[in-house]
Amino acid sequence: MRKARSYHATSGRVTDEMKRRIILIIDDNITNLKVAVDYLQAYGFEIIVARNGATGIERARFARPDLILLDVQMAGLDGFETCRRLKANLETAAIPIIFMTALSDPLDRVKGLEAGAVDYVVKPIEEAEILARVKTHLALRELQAQLQQQNEQLEERVRERTAALEAEIAQRKRSQEEKEHLFDLVHQQSEQLRDLTNLFVENQQQHNQDLAQVVNEEIGRELTLLALRLEQVRQILVKQVGLSQALNEVNAALDILQGVRQQTQQVTSELTQLPSNNQSLLANPLLNLSTREVEVLQLLVQGRSNAEIATLLVLSKSTVSTYRQRIMDKLDIHDLPALVKFAIQHNLV
C-alpha cells in the first residue's frame, strides 16, 4: 500500500500519522461520482474513478486499490458481472467491494453479496454512512493483511522448525548408523582377539601333546633298552662268569640312564616354555583389557571426546573418564598420542 497523508475524521484536515488509502469508484453517473469523490477526498483518501465496468476492472488490476465502490446499475457490464470478474481474477480477488445501489429489493442485495461484495450502501448516498462503511472495511482488510502476514510468518517458522527437525532426525540417524558401525568394528576386533586367544590355547595344547608323545616314544624306548641291559647284567652275575662283560653292560646302562636324564630335562624345559608365536600372543597387552575397555580404547583413538563416547556407549562422562584412566594404567601409557601410536601398532585403527 502507498504511504501518504492521513486525515482527521471530524475536521477533514490531513495529518502525517496514518497511511493514505486508495479507493476506486466505478460509476457511470457523473453526479454520483462527483459527490463520492469530493467527500472522500476531503478525508484524505486517494480516489481513482472509472465510468464503466470494463475500465474499472483494468484500473483495479493496475492500481490495486484498497477498496472499490461499485455501482450496480451501469450500461454494458453491470455491477454484478463486474464484481464477479474482479473476484475471479487473482490480482483483484482480495480487494473488498462495496455496492452502491438504488435497488430496494432485498434479493438484489443478496445477489450482490453472492457476487462477492462485502457490503452495500443505498443511493442517494449518505456521506456519514459511506465514510463509516469505507473505514470499517478498510480496517477489516488491514486486519486480514496482518493476519495473512502473521500466518505467512508462522508458516515460515513452521517450515524452518520442520527443516531443523528433519536435519536433527537425519543427524540422529547418521549418528545411530555410525554408532552401529563402530560397534560392529569393536565386535569384529573383539572376536579377532578372542580367536587369537583360542589359537594360543589350541597351539599350547598341541605342543604339550607333541612333547608327551616324544616322552612316551623316545624315553620309553631308552628305558626298554636299559631294562634289557640290566637283565643281561643280572644273568651274567647269576652265572658268576664274565665279570668284565658285566661291567661293560653296567656302564652301558649308566650311559642310557644319563641319556634318559638329559632327555627328561630337555622335555621338562620345553614343557615349561611356550612356542615363540604363542609367547607373543600371551604378551599382547590387549588381553589385559576388558571388552568395554577395548571399545572405549577404539573410540578414543578415533578422536572421540568423552562426551561423544558416553553418548555412543550409553555411559556417563565420569564412567568414560574412569575407563580411560584404567586403559592408560593397564597399557602403561601416559598420554593420548602414545595411545594412538599403540593402537596403530596393534592394528586398532
pTM summary value = 0.47
In a domain, 239, yes or no: no
Q: What is the pLDDT of residue 6?
A: 36
Range of the domain at 302: 285-349
CATH of the domain at 317: 1.10.10.10
> Is 22:65 a contact under the CB 8 Å cutoff?
yes
In a domain, 111, yes or no: yes
Report the distance separating Cα 278 and Cα 200, nearest Å: 5
CATH of the domain at 119: 3.40.50.2300
Average pLDDT over residues 326-331: 86
Residue 157, beta-bridge partner list? none
More confident residue, 183 or 307: 307
Q: What is the pLDDT of residue 18?
A: 41
Q: Whose CA is closest to 45, among 93, 75, 12, 71?
A: 12
Cis upstream peptide for 96 (omega within 30°):
no
Say yes or no to pLDDT of 120 above 80: yes
Say yes or no to pLDDT of 226 above 60: yes
The three three-digit cell numbers of residue 329, written as one number: 594404567
> Is 97:68 a contact under the CB 8 Å cutoff?
yes
Task: Answer with the one of 98, 125, 152 that is the final residue of a domain.
Answer: 125
Task: Answer with the one of 125, 155, 183 that is the final residue of a domain.
Answer: 125
More confident residue, 206 or 183: 206
What are the CA-CA distances from residue 242 to residues 64, 228, 256 (Å)? Answer: 146, 17, 21
Average pLDDT over residues 135-146: 91
In a domain, 194, yes or no: no
Question: Phi then psi for 90, rounded to 5 degrees?
Answer: -60, -30
Average pLDDT over residues 292-312: 83
In a domain, 79, yes or no: yes
Task: Answer with the one of 62, 91, 125 that is the final residue of a domain.
Answer: 125
The three-class DSSP label of residue 109 is helix
In a domain, 202, yes or no: no
Into how many domains does the chain fold? 2
In a domain, 156, yes or no: no
